[in-house]
Structure 1
């Protein structure tokens, strides 16, 4: 995984508590090399499961999601035939880890001699090796995170997360009453250490909005361990500590899944992604946020080529397409390959029905590391972009800092998409994507750098509700004044004007330092635009209050110079 990247379950219960995982067969022989393999079955003939009784393998919430979107049940939804699984488990030396409804397959571990015996079974169609042994531990992409900020900053309830939320209209979305209530989001990542102890996530536990957890790498329910990449990504979504930090979907319900093992890089992690997606489906999840990507693997596993980035080859891409077809919105990071020889997006960001998210700076410009499109078959990617350079994140220590990567742009966008779908629950998955793209800053001229651009929640909502736009309800007018980048290290500042300030012929700006001393006073011409440059001149490090007024109104915003 480049942090920008597998499993299989049999018949999940309708309640969708931790998955009903297959039990182990006889222990594998210790004298031979044991690897994991994806075993494909020939068919689902003779299965005791029936499409007329889907409650045996899909939750009521999963069935309701299909019904809302007019999605018919298909044979792919049926669990693997238990008799076939039993035949595989009966082979000496095999352990069955998971099964996959969608691929009609099972993930097993065994040595090569045992695998040859499995291949002779009449119910087995073929096999694919998923890992090749142990390797030295991998570490997060150096662009994924940076050191925590030395001094915490606050901008109203959002803290340093204000700019990234404001950029895509999530602040207006929250003002309009859409913070993810009633929506379920599954987060696939490499670990969530500290989440169960951090103040920024306390409301998740106090309000019982952690619906389930599962570690598909170790086959346990414990996810509050391993790599902190998942913790950082989750903060941009679910963070909820007013005055310090707010994520883009702070009131959604979450399911946390570890699918990624940073100790090595093999297709087994894609299989974990697949099985996690099937679990999410059975549980009734609405949105999957996946800041993972696959293109190269540890030897001797075979790397993908750019030609494989066609949405139909990689295991994770095939799984993501199916996830979308059963009614889940898959939001995936584009990848951090923009400066590398690879250059392009990674899997499953290449899937045609996935909302692939690239990264921009606080100045709304392409982040150099963000992967480019198109897909190998010529489709535009990424679909959209959000802030991923100097994005505000929360570390397991509770410190608020900044990080770089499409890994952060993805969940920031996923939270807004969750709130948008909450506001328009009758939409189908592809309609959600279409409205968001139509609300992008490059909607009329998409490209393979920014896709359809930076979306606006208000624009998307008004396109979906032409007879009841937010402006008429006063929600857009409640949009607060913003400043970005915040905090800044000497970059040029910009004001994001509220609706009340945008049409004023002149704006009067006064900037005060932390002691209340007036340090700058200037006049700006808004010219009907949403964003204007704020020429502050040189400022010392510290916190400042910016008061912007017109003849009819006055608003205040704070910012930090580092």
Structure 2
């Protein structure tokens, strides 16, 4: 890297500007210009985690949270009301990082890159002496290296020969088999096409001049975009970019958003998008982990329903660290899902074995409620490269399988061309499309309920009532139409199951006939007669034994 190269740290501010199609006041990424360190300074990149948010008194904390609720974007608040599972609408994780603490870090000479409120940290470029000085600050809990993205090269890329017209398939064109395999056309036929949904996509960049992005009357709807690599608001192909910089993200986005009837149609073609360019394909230094977390926060603030990424991080993490609690990107995904954002991620392309004691995952595939996606071909055969689990704490991963082997894609280098590619990065956007349609069908379902419905639609679960014990194929190939038809009557705690915990919820709300119930108890009125009584208890018993 040349000395004096300029990069940008990211902070978030609310600005008064109209959202493209939501009428929302959007959150945009504000740039703070800093000078990137050089090899001559012997600098490295770290996370600096703080002990608290700098607010001591409980009254002050509550006042800050109340104020945040007043200024937070309405669409994000509405999504939280529908799907958030953490107590309340906001908590301390949502508050900004203490600027006084950030100032102390800067005073050491370290250069702040990204501020991440959910993990209460900043990422910095710092020399060894600066790191030691930071570790000595009383406000600092710990310092650890950044991890960088694991290589996700698209495998088996083969250009599709052009016949000068439409493909030989149906409305979906080249994408037909991969979409039919997971039930998406059935969902489309029922009116679930992604309309009204917002999807956030994290990747390498998004060149959007392809015919399937610009179809007359149906161009892709991008509500906002940000390039964390260059620090600007343009995720398209830019002058000076590596020739491959845009390739992966452009192809992945097309699996969801493309619309060229009878040639190539994506899985959620009526959705709108926020796009985040978080990976620099030319770098070999650990830079992107902090961009990933910052982009997730940005997505959530802007009210996205689904976030999807075909990127992964391992670097200095080991498989023992993939326990759902350690990797920073994993923690970020955990917070996003608690706030009602359904997140999808690739399992990885490191292959698998039949030994459940070994695994080949990457972060954030180990997050608790993320949809971790493995790959099959259109014949349902598991791809040899698809990574296996379990997580370090024994959870099955991957969980959801879709076509990631010779998957049809738009050609990022030919505005009228199409190609194929392979990898779990190809199966992930197909799963994300399915999740989007499921959210459209059931906007009040929590992420746990979305997961329960979609995973139980899997081919292995339908055949066995369980999952693959070797953590290779998870619950099997998903079927979104089956998932849409799931009935969660009796799931009073909204965790995706009807169990004894739901009996406890109803017992706490029982008030007898004619006594109106409201608030959190409103959902216990299973027979919809306005009260919570023994008739509702009987309905719960029916739902409970119906799942046994």
TM-score band (shorter)?
0.7 to 0.9
Which aligned pairs between 1:175-214 and structure 2 lie closer than 5 A?
175-192=189-206, 194-195=207-208, 197-202=209-214, 209-214=221-226
| Aligned counterpart, 2:20 | none
Q: Deviations over 1:108-166 (max 9, x none)?
A: 2233333333333332232223279xxxx9975252x5121123534122111000110
Which residues in structure 2 correspond to 1:336-485 (within 5 Å)? 336-338=349-351, 344-396=360-412, 397-398=414-415, 399-443=417-461, 444-447=465-468, 448-464=471-487
Match of 1:238 among 254, 257, 260: 257
Aligned position for 2:528: none
Distance in 2 (alpha carbons) for counterparts of 1:204 and 1:259: 30
Residue 18 in structure 1 maps to residue 28 in structure 2: yes
More helix by share: 2
1:320 aligned partner: 333
| 2:160 aligned with 1:141 | no
Taking the aligned partners of 2:183 and 2:211, their CA distance within structure 1 comes to 25
Flag the 1:83–1:435 CA change in 2: closer, same or farther, 3 A. Answer: same
Residue of structure 1 in register with 2:74 after alignment: 60
Note the C-alpha offset of 1:404: 0.7
Aligned to 1:333: 346
In structure 1, list runs of 5 or more residues that go unmatched: 1-6, 467-562
Q: Distance in 1 between matches of 2:129 and 2:216?
A: 48
SS at match of 2:171: helix
Secondary structure, in 3 states, of the residue corresponding to 1:409? helix
Alpha-carbon offset, residue 400 of structure 1: 1.0
Q: Is the 8 A contact 2:48 2:144 kept in 1?
A: yes
CA drift of 1:204 comes to 10
Distance 1:63 1:453, change over 3 A: same
Secondary structure (helix, strand or coil) at the match of 1:319 reads helix
Instruction: Note the aligned Cα RMSD (angstroms).
Output: 2.8
Per-residue displacement from partner, 1:250-306 (whole Å, max 9, x unpaired)? 0111111112222345553222211111111111111111111223x3xxxx3x322
Name 1:279's counterpart in structure 2. 298
> Aligned pair 1:307/2:308, yes or no?
no
Q: Is the 8 A contact 1:10 1:79 kept in 2?
A: no
Q: Which residue of 1 aligns with 2:95?
A: 78
Counterparts of 1:162 and 1:29 in 2: how far apart (Å)? Answer: 49
SS at 2:433 equivalent: helix
2:143 aligned residue? 127
CA shift digits 1:464-502 (9 cap, x unpaired): 389xxxxxxxxxxxxxxxxxxxxxxxxxxxxxxxxxxxx
1:45: how far off? 2.3
Query: Residues 149-160 of structure 1 correspond to what in structure 2 (within 5 A)?
Result: 149-151=160-162, 153-160=167-174
TM-score (norm 1): 0.73
Deviations 1:513-562 (A, max 9, x none): xxxxxxxxxxxxxxxxxxxxxxxxxxxxxxxxxxxxxxxxxxxxxxxxxx
Calculate the TM-score normalised by the size of structure 2: 0.75
Q: Distance in 1 between matches of 2:37 and 2:458?
A: 53
Any stretches of 5+ residues in structure 2 without a counterpart? 1-7, 16-24, 238-244, 490-548
Secondary structure at 2:296's aligned position in 1? helix
Does the aligned pair in 2 maintain the 1:12–1:58 contact within 8 Å? no
- Separation in 1 of the partners of 2:319 and 2:360? 8
